Structure 1
Amino acid sequence: MSEPHTRPAQLIPSAPLRPGDTIGICAPSMAHAARYPRRRERALAHLRELGYQVRGSSNWLRDTGHTAGTAAERAADLHELYVDPEVRVIMTSIGGHNANQLLDLLDYDLIRAHPKPLVGYSDTSALLLAIWQRTRAGVVQGPQLLPQWGEYGGCHPDTLRSFRQTLGDEKPIGRMTFPTERVIEFLPWDEADDRPRERLVADAPRVHVQGRATGHLVAANLETLLSLAGTPYWPDLDGAILLLESTTTDLAPLTARLTQLRQMGVLNRLAGLGLGRFAAPDFDRSDDLAELIAQETAGFGGPLVTGLPIGHTDPMLCIPFGARATLAAVDTACEFTVLDSAVTA
């Protein structure tokens, strides 16, 4: 199939992250940074060992139940890190459910005036999508402090490699290398996470619709993306390569969400579509998933692949919003190439 015409993303350039630079940490949703001190301190120490300075925002260790502070306090923390001249990149501590509370409270003019990458995933997707849509300042779906940097023995090498390449390199990112490992073992934080988790062999991404397309990247947690439907923060997806991941392997809610995307007309506007790995490797390879995708994306011009290492998976690739990328799916092989530098796109 021919490659569709794509609109320039018009990203605001930002400075690359170098050793010695400062990473600012905030907690826009859950209060786990306060509740798991051993995990938190191990993550901060690991970032410092890698050569970065680390600075927490004023309220990131608050614990007010299901959130780390009020919505106003969490929004103020983001503003604090954006205007701090020493902070080069902002990283979220963990996801949750309530980052969308901040969207009406953010000063998008302030963020546009102090552009720097915001990195996270899960319900941090709400912030990534809204800030990208309103400002075109750089945002990256990528590792968070507690889940990835707090791992025993340090962040997985493949995640670290993608983080450094995406946030620290002014050259085009180029062809992404899919990790050959995956980690799904769960060890309770601050109780049993005192050894490396078991590493398994990872399957390659699975091709559902063949094709080749170039477009600008947008990535999100599926549930969080759909929570923005009907709001001013829904992203411009015309000509996009949309990469989605979900935490459920329950066919009923997953069917409902893909049906909603189809009924909203989202699939008609995309250049390409990719789904991330699910929690269970058997589900990734299952006929049930293949049948569901065929049913709810019937007529999609593709390419369409599943099993991408993004979002709730270890290791993970970093996905820079707005960067031009090519997704190619031929026979059973998938190639994913980012044509821009994330910081200068």
Structure 2
Amino acid sequence: MTISATPVYPPKPVPGDRVAVLSPSGGLPGILPLPFELGLRRLREEFGLEPVEYPTTRKPDATPRQRADDIHAAFADPEIKAVIASIGGEDQITVLRHLDRELLRANPKPFFGFSDNTNLLLALRNLGIVGYHGACVMTELGRPHAMDPMTADSLRAALFTSGPYELRPAERYRDIDRDWADPATFESAPLTEPGGGWIWHGPARTVEGPAWGGNLEILSWMLMADREIARDPAAYEGGVLFLETSEELPGADEVFWILRNMGERGLLARFPALLMGRAKAWSFERPHDAEGRRRYASEQREAVLRALAAYAPETVAVFDVDLGHTDPQVVIPYGGTVRVDGVARRITVTY
């Protein structure tokens, strides 16, 4: 697998432009239309963009080939200025084999998505295209009642501007979800709780490099399938690793085992900095109470620290960064520059 050494930022859209809304993973817009329609409306009214749907955007049973065809159509259309995923899923890895890499390379566009969209983000990064980890239509744009201002500000900056953007810890965050099939869910603001700030670990030094990572479970699948990840870990030397876990709530042991395997492969030691997203600690299947959520997040942090101690003891790590499966959510430029200042305890991304 050939990896472009220095990814470039594709041209940004401007208000009034058309943007593709795709479902490269799950076609949940066809099953749960309420957050999807709300997200489309906000794209139009709050961001001034015109969303364009494709044949599989609302199709739950679309084949990997059909989803790849929509990706190709969106990237090849000169009137489409950005591509945004509706939501994640669990089988986007099956789409990768169908991608026309030369078409994508010849038509670079900003792609926004996270979770299972780690697959496409990593494929684009390998083609030399910076993508944007975050901001799906149903989850962030379709948030009940209103978008979180921190999410909206980060998304607006990533969509429309270029240059440095300083991240700040959320004062409050939401972990508990409500039923998207119930219209009452969208009539009031979600319940939030105090954020607690970032947790820093490791040497007080500054690291600046390209961002690489994404959802930990998806990365583990990609490693098992030998998809999109360089066999020579030196390809990632000096980068900033960012990781997050999903509403599947992987246990602390599983998180450690995945990181241990990445360590045995030589990956962890290549990254002098790690941004660990705030752990999603509640799901409908496991509705933890406040103490259960605190314990889950603490055990996950200890698992990460155990892996770092064994394989990357000099890595600067920051925990509870508002990226991934959390609300509010900041956008991370995949392959773009991230600066982790362990002295001043500041994080700056370049959009």
Tell me the SS of whatever aligns to 1:124: helix
Q: Following the alignment from structure 1 to structure 2, what is the Cα–Cα distance between the partners of residues 202 and 290? A: 16
Deviation at 1:290?
4.5
Moved segments of 4+, more than 3 Å: 288-291
The equivalent of 2:237 in structure 1 is 238
Tell me the SS of whatever aligns to 1:228: helix
Deviation at 1:130?
1.5
Q: Following the alignment from structure 1 to structure 2, what is the Cα–Cα distance between the partners of residues 269 and 138? A: 20
The equivalent of 1:121 in structure 2 is 114
Aligned residue type for 1:128: L
Percent of pairs with identical residues: 26
Deviation at 1:213?
1.2
The equivalent of 2:78 in structure 1 is 85
Deviation at 1:238?
1.9
Could you give the per-residue CA deviations for residues 48-79 of structure 1, whole angstroms, max 9, x where no partner exists? 11211110112211122xxxx00100000100
1:282 aligned to 2:294?
A: yes
CA contact (8 A) 2:256 2:303 kept: yes
CA contact (8 A) 2:253 2:303 kept: no
Aligned residue type for 2:313: F
CA contact (8 A) 1:284 1:307 kept: no
Q: Following the alignment from structure 2 to structure 1, what is the Cα–Cα distance between the partners of residues 58 and 75? A: 18
The equivalent of 1:5 in structure 2 is none
Q: What TM-score do the two structures reach when normalised by structure 1?
A: 0.89
Q: Following the alignment from structure 1 to structure 2, what is the Cα–Cα distance between the partners of residues 273 and 93? A: 27
Tell me the SS of whatever aligns to 2:97: coil
Q: Following the alignment from structure 1 to structure 2, what is the Cα–Cα distance between the partners of residues 54 and 203? A: 36
Aligned residue type for 1:179: A
The equivalent of 1:273 in structure 2 is 274
Could you give the per-residue CA deviations for residues 126-161 of structure 1, whole angstroms, max 9, x where no partner exists? 11111211x112211011011111122232111110
Pick aligned residue for 2:207 from 176, 199, 213: 213
Pick aligned residue for 1:58 from 46, 55, 58: 55
Could you give the per-residue CA deviations for residues 67-121 of structure 1, whole angstroms, max 9, x where no partner exists? xx00100000100100111111101111110011111110111011111011100
310-319 or 218-227: bigger deviation: 218-227
CA contact (8 A) 1:165 1:173 kept: no
Q: Following the alignment from structure 1 to structure 2, what is the Cα–Cα distance between the partners of residues 327 and 265? A: 22
Deviation at 1:38?
2.1
The equivalent of 1:173 in structure 2 is 164
- Residues 309, 224 of structure 1: CA spacing in aligned structure 2 closer, same or farther, 3 A cutoff? same
- Residues 334, 289 of structure 1: CA spacing in aligned structure 2 closer, same or farther, 3 A cutoff? farther
Superposed counterparts of 1:12-161, under 5 Å = 12-50=8-46, 51-64=48-61, 69-133=62-126, 135-161=127-153
The equivalent of 1:3 in structure 2 is none
1:223 aligned to 2:217?
A: yes
Tell me the SS of whatever aligns to 1:297: helix
CA contact (8 A) 1:57 1:77 kept: yes
Deviation at 1:265?
1.1
The equivalent of 1:188 in structure 2 is 179
CA contact (8 A) 2:255 2:304 kept: no
Task: Number of aligned residue pairs: give it.
Answer: 325
Aligned residue type for 2:345: C
Tell me the SS of whatever aligns to 1:148: helix
CA contact (8 A) 2:167 2:347 kept: yes
251-260 or 48-57: bigger deviation: 251-260
CA contact (8 A) 1:219 1:319 kept: no
1:164 aligned to 2:156?
A: yes
Q: Following the alignment from structure 2 to structure 1, what is the Cα–Cα distance between the partners of residues 342 and 320? A: 13
1:295 aligned to 2:296?
A: no
42-51 or 208-217: bigger deviation: 208-217
Q: Following the alignment from structure 1 to structure 2, what is the Cα–Cα distance between the partners of residues 20 and 263? A: 48
Q: Following the alignment from structure 1 to structure 2, what is the Cα–Cα distance between the partners of residues 282 and 180? A: 17
Q: What TM-score do the two structures reach when normalised by structure 2?
A: 0.87
Aligned residue type for 1:242: L
Deviation at 1:285?
6.0
42-51 or 311-320: bigger deviation: 42-51
Q: Following the alignment from structure 2 to structure 1, what is the Cα–Cα distance between the partners of residues 191 and 6? A: 42
Q: Following the alignment from structure 1 to structure 2, what is the Cα–Cα distance between the partners of residues 25 and 239? A: 34
The equivalent of 1:260 in structure 2 is 261
CA contact (8 A) 1:249 1:279 kept: no
CA contact (8 A) 1:212 1:328 kept: yes
CA contact (8 A) 2:129 2:335 kept: no
Aligned residue type for 1:17: P
1:322 aligned to 2:327?
A: no
Structure 2 stretches of 5 or more lacking a match? Answer: 282-292
- Residues 284, 89 of structure 1: CA spacing in aligned structure 2 closer, same or farther, 3 A cutoff? farther
CA contact (8 A) 1:9 1:323 kept: no
Aligned residue type for 2:323: I
CA contact (8 A) 1:120 1:143 kept: yes
